[in-house]
A and B are shown apart, each in its own frame.
Chain A
Amino acid sequence: MKLKLILIAGFLIITYAAQGTTLNLVSDTLSTSEPGFAANHTIKFTTITAIPVSGTIVITPQSGNFNIPSGLDFTEVDLLINNSQKTLAASAGSGSSSAIGISVVSGTSGSLTITLNDSDAISGGSSIIMRIGTNAEFGTTGDKQITNPTSTGSYRIQIITKNSSNLTLDEDGAMAAIVASVDVSASKVAPTPSSAPAPAPAPAPSGGGGGGEGQAVPTPQPAPVVSRRVGNLNLDGRVDFIDFSILLFNWGIPKNLAADLNKDGKVDLIDFSIMLYWWTG
């Protein structure tokens, strides 16, 4: 019995040590909280332990919930270390100030791995900001976004820093609140019956907290300013031919649940009718 307890205690200590310390001031702000919508992520944290050269930062949205689209790559990522914009590439470069590598595993069990080059480390206490999605505007502007979970709830975005031997240095997570918004715009322009209910601003989902306990608590953030009409699938403020194309792409069982306008699990003639109601052209 004693031996068993010692073994269990020993295992727990090893596990704790392997997890390393927690990161500081972890947060992830999403551009939209709507279930099934594609969203930009702005992830912020402060390192505790220095990340040595060739070390990595691994961002893992909660498996089975977020969907990283195929083709999302380093062009969809901006990385700022202590407010200094870094050059990114598909793989890490060699030499001082060379590119930092971004590798992506797409899908619902996907992840993003940032690999430092072989010359520049990140010191402890550094402020890290990552923008993932179309908000990555440094160099090539991103054109793909991570899709939110399809159900409302709180979801974890795990952040782990590792050394070049893949041993964990720091670890923490941000919680992203996925909230079904009711923000249909009242600014209907089509000459059809009167407008829909006034919008309730969608809360900006955010993860925050971090700190000693490693418990990330959602932190309220200002609502994103997004002009939305039902059927405005590309969030450009209009319901037009592009949204029509996106709807058609998702016809039947939707690949992007945002296209399922009435949330009945399929994209069909009813969704097309709803889109026509909101059509701005």
Chain B
Amino acid sequence: MNNIKIQFLIIFSFTAFGLNSVQAAELYIQLPSQPTYKNDVFSAEIQIKNSNEAINAVQADLNFPADLLEVVLIDKVGSILNLWPKEPSFFNDLGVISLSGGLPDPGFQGQNGLIAKIYFKAKNIGEAVLKFLPDSKALLNDGFGNRAALSSGTFVLQITSAPAGIKPKIFTLPKDIVPPDAFSPIISQTPLAFDGKYFVSFLTEDRESGLARYESREIADGKAGNWKVVVSPYVLENQKGDILVQIKAIDRAGNETIGEATVIIKPPYEFYLIIFMAIAALLFIIYRLLINFNKLWKN
């Protein structure tokens, strides 16, 4: 094999996570089929395959060689998962990526489900071994959170020197002129969370370049605040008055969609009672002063 040619091998030395069976679903990394050269940016798809039972939550933690690879971006576009208790994270120093997400009932059942796409930069020449950590798991959509039988392998990518005249592949955003999907934030209040304060929840998707961030501003009693980067859920800064909350979903290409919600938060009954009592006390003091003044005047 020529040394400037990629050696692309996937070794199916399966490791079992949780229960293991012949029909176990498989955590899989789809590596590029094209040669990978030093300084290339390439994508690796994290997939769940052959899930014969419906699953609704996947935790995929994987390890990569920090001396050979560097995560540039984690892309959730096209993922079967749409709710993420923790945003996907990576640690280039440690060579660890963590993905934890789920999808509502009826879950996912099928041959090939995309979890996320990881964009790596090939930093050095060598054999990059990627593998899932033992904490990885998929949970059944069974109402009990039982683990699905799951297996995984070790995935190997050869990074070689680029032939003369070949420029490294760079990451380019897909052409995207479509803004994120329309959405409606929800303002809620419950004694169960956020110390009973009003909070806002929101969720949308961008099917082209992917969501970059959310920003929010509150317009309370006609006074507009500044846009701030937020994540769902967050506690409203203004906890009284007539409040308009605007959430701006911005995709990686800069397209925006704004969702709005309003709430009128009145002070509690006790507040009015205290005001009333204060006014009553003030009137009483004025009355007493007037009587005393009248007496003094007569004297």
Chain A contacts to B: CB under 8 angstroms: 143, 184, 192-197, 230, 234, 241-246, 248-252, 255-256, 261-262, 268-270, 272-279, 281
- Complex Cα distance, B57 from A91, in Å, reads 37
> Residue A241 contacts which of B140, B145, B197 (CB distance < 8 angstroms)?
B145
Partner of A272, one of B83, B191, B194: B83
In the assembled complex, which residues on chain B have CB atoms less than 8 Å from the CB atom of A250?
105, 143
Cα(A194)–Cα(B197), bound, Å = 11
Contact A252 B139 (CB under 8 A): no
Number of interface residues of B (CB under 8 A): 36
Report if B133 contacts A (CB, 8 A): no
Interface hit among B29-37, B96-104, B262-270, B274-282 = B96-104
Contact A273:B199 (CB < 8 A) given known A241-B139, A262-B192:
yes
| Chain A residues in 8 Å Cβ range of B203 | 269
9 residue pairs bridging A and B, Cβ less than 8 Å apart: A193-B195, A242-B145, A245-B141, A245-B145, A248-B83, A248-B104, A249-B105, A251-B105, A252-B105
CA distance A261 to B145 in the complex (A): 17
Which residues from B are CB-within-8-Å of A281?
86
Residues of B contacting A143 with CB < 8 Å?
Answer: 144
Query: Cβ of A248 and Cβ of B57 under 8 Å apart?
Result: yes
Q: Is the CB–CB distance between A234 and B145 below 8 Å?
A: yes
With CB as the reference atom, state the residue of chain B lying closest to A251.
Answer: B104
Q: In the bound complex, do residue A274 and residue B141 qualify as a contact, i.e. CB atoms below 8 Å apart?
A: no
- Contact code string B135-151 (vs A, CB < 8 Å = 1, else 0): 00101111111000000
Q: Is B222 among interface residues, defined by CB-CB distance under 8 A?
A: no
Contacts A244-B85, A261-B192 given; does A193 touch B141 at CB 8 Å = no
A244 proximity list for chain B (CB < 8 A): 57, 83, 85, 102, 145
The answer to whether B191 and A197 have CB atoms under 8 Å apart is: yes
The residue from A196, A242, A249, A256 contacting B193, defined by CB atoms under 8 A apart: A196
- CA A88 – CA B202 in complex, angstroms? 51
CA distance A157 to B102 in the complex (A): 38
Are B102 and A230 in contact (CB-based, < 8 A)?
no
Q: Once bound together, how far apart are the Cα atoms of A197 and B190, in whole Å? A: 12
Asked whether A256 and B143 contact (CB < 8 A) given A194-B195, A248-B102, A270-B186, the answer is yes
